[in-house]
A and B are shown apart, each in its own frame.
Chain A
């Protein structure tokens, strides 16, 4: 579903130096995967997600979504996926209804499908009654829910989420897990970054740990964590590499 081959992205740092945020990253997210992407702050998770989402130009490498190369058909790639930022910046002056209508039109979803999906997803997150209100009147959690609905509305094959569980109430968290499960059942994939390792351990079947833009370990959850917890593996591996191992 998602293939990242030798991805590199560097930023200009102070005094003309170059900071490599992502350095030769290779990942393969298969259909049906719930793929956790883990790393310290500044490890390169968001940069990777933004490169895949198409909101950041990358320096080297190749990204393929559902077999379609980003370099050859960026619009086709974007149409197959959805990306929710960790702190969704929405249009405060628009109503939630207008925003969802905008997204549905951009992804060319049929009006009947939009109606039923909005009822399903907004009903699930319990904000259906509030869709007529301006987004500016929404709380942070409601904005997060709205961004998730907007991402789910076109039934993406690949759903990318940056820290999706921050700001959600417990009920919404359970609801989101349900929606994620449905994407998986129909052959889609979920690729998400998180710092909440308990959650990652519970819901992901595959995981990758990244440090300083480089992949440290990647594979099935069971293989990666073995007999210990994901938290222990993460701490052990990131400390090891920090010591130069």
Chain B
């Protein structure tokens, strides 16, 4: 029964006959495995040995926690068919087990992407013998369990507290953001151990880092070939999962009611200008913003790039470069003076900001998030092109505000020449245009309207996968010629090219908008 309920979810996610999406998922998955694989093989080739799977395990914990916290509410609680499933002659524990399975299968993706290349690289260079194969399989399957459980407890707790009082949504954002930043800090800390060529020292350092994760030390010893630690790690993971299922299952209905409760605001009082008109387009734009900021899952997943933009800019503006590089393991005494490093790095900042701007995409889920409401939206007396334009401009707006804040911050801090100053604003804005157009076009092509949890539309849809991945890769393209022809020249050449691509994508979106939207319903 648990398997049937779990399959029901995934069959709904990828409908039968929807081979186009399956092929796309496979291509993206292979590209991501290739990307992580290159890193793993490069590390292993430099003699990092056992450190490679341990490092990827640390990353796996980071990703599972990062993804698990906002997902908990959407997947474990308040799913659309909750009432239907609970009314079936199925035990409550079967429903609970199926929801946890759905959650863990989704999180398992990170373990596959990170640990398969890591163990492959380790096995190829270190030749640990055939015993590594069963050990690796056990570790890959069980690795996401503990961080995912921790993430879901944290996410559920934040959602529960957020639903308790008026203004709880703001609390949810702050809570989720805090967990996000804590996880990112941990990820950054671990990256200092990823410098190749440090051999045994690196392995020891990673072991000590893994030890901080608690069961991580078991993973590190298990990856080195210890069957006892493999057994203990798997046992611990299974035990944590079963205990979680047991506790969760015993009070599932009560927890679901608590987590999904929406705080009401008491008697409605009309303010003086409560109904002052915003105009048709203003209304559409405000509705889009309301949908974005009204859903913690949508906001945190779609504005991740904007958050990164602000965090990175604030760090670069207020923390000396030597200290930042020190966090990544660079020896302070070997670094040049801060002024020298600043002069060297400053021209690269526009492209860096552009990369983060290209990670910020609300449009790739903006059609999908409408779900069955798309039909009502299309029946309103608004041109379809305006509906799309509102969705398009929300991403530009969110990115634009962040780019202006970050640009001013960096311009004041580094006092760049005029050209660089213009680039600091123009490059990320161009990338915002590019990713907004790309996301919307892909979402028009691959919408996910029949979702039962927002998560399916926002995070697990082909549209979101392709847009975010393509955006990140394409935004890195101008960085390569920057090392060959100089960063200013590369940036100046990249800008019109990005503008042209963005223009072409935009042209592909707006003509025949009504026909395009009606085709989706």
| Interface residue ranges, A against B (CB under 8 Å) | 50, 53-57, 74-76, 78-79, 83, 85, 88-91, 93-95, 97-98, 101-112, 114-115, 118-119, 128-134, 136-137
Contact = CB atoms under 8 A, between A and B. Distances in A.
B499 interface: no
Nearest to A94: B290
B262 A114 contact: no
Interface stretch (B339-347, B368-376, B429-437): B368-376
Given A54-B378, A133-B264, 17 more contacts: A55-B379, A57-B518, A75-B382, A83-B376, A85-B376, A94-B290, A94-B291, A102-B287, A106-B283, A106-B381, A112-B275, A128-B268, A129-B267, A130-B268, A131-B268, A132-B266, A133-B268
A134 B262 contact: yes
Contacts of A93: 290-291, 294-295
14 contacts: A54-B378, A57-B515, A57-B519, A76-B381, A83-B376, A88-B376, A89-B372, A89-B373, A91-B294, A93-B294, A101-B275, A102-B287, A106-B381, A114-B275
A103 B280 CA distance: 9
Contacts of B286: 98, 102
A233 to B, nearest CB: 31
B381 to A, nearest CB: 4
B284 interface: yes
B245 to A, nearest CB: 28
A17 B36 CA distance: 46
Interface SS majority for chain A: helix
A53 B381 CA distance: 10
Contacts of B254: none
Contacts, number: 117
B278 A105 contact: yes
Nearest to B276: A111
Kindly state the interface size class of chain B when it binds its partner.
35 or more
B521 interface: yes
Given A94-B294, A106-B382, A50 B283 contact: no
A108 to B, nearest CB: 7
B380 interface: yes
Contact of B275 (A104, A132, A134): A104
Contacts of B282: 105
Contacts of A119: 270
Nearest to A116: B275
Contacts of A101: 274-275, 278, 283
Interface in B262-314: 262-270, 273-280, 282-284, 286-287, 290-291, 294-295
Contact of B375 (A50, A76, A97, A136): A50
A56 B376 CA distance: 10
A170 B521 CA distance: 33
Contact of B277 (A76, A97, A105, A131): A105
B250 interface: no
A108 B381 CA distance: 10
Interface string B238-263: 00000000000000000000000011
Contacts of A112: 275
